[in-house]
Structure 1
Amino acid sequence: MAVVLQSTITCPKCGHVAAEAMPTDACQWYYECKGCGELLKPLQGDCCVFCSYGTVPCPPVQLEGKNACCSSGCCD
């Protein structure tokens, strides 16, 4: 399975859209919107901002499923 390493994040506050590269070795817990400066954090139940606001979930979730990232210890 090919892992997608880019996701488009949409800010829930201002609607700004930005294509971002996802890290492969860690979850990204915070993202500062380039439109309004809002600091985005994962929604409850998501391991990272890409899983909450992106068009593509983070690489660990792509490979192993919804609970893979935090259950594997990358978010500790």
Structure 2
Amino acid sequence: MNKTIQYPQAIVTCPHCQNSEIVSSEEGAQHFYRCRSCSAILKPKSGDCCILCSFGNRDCLSSEQNLAA
């Protein structure tokens, strides 16, 4: 049996053009992300591990796991 991992989704909002996109936590756990609307390259804010933690409506999985520990 082949199991597919389902990653939670989050909404990432570009601080430049305010465009919002739905991305999975796997996609969001990146150090760079290009906005599909204005092509701005988003980088995590100082102290954040990824673009989800900086620009998403929820933290990434690793941050949620750290909070639970």
Give TM-score, length-normalised by structure 1: 0.73
Q: % of aligned pairs identical?
A: 34
Structure 1 gaps, min length 5: 69-76
Higher CA-based Rg: 2
Give TM-score, length-normalised by structure 2: 0.80
Root-mean-square deviation (Å)? 1.9
- Within the alignment, does 1:23 sit opposite 2:26 as a pair? yes
Q: How does 1:45-64 map to 2 (within 5 A)?
A: 45-64=47-66
Q: Which has the higher helix share?
A: 2
1:13 pairs, out of 2, 11, 16, with 16
1:34 matched to which residue of 2?
36
Moved over 2 A (4+): none
Count of aligned positions: 61
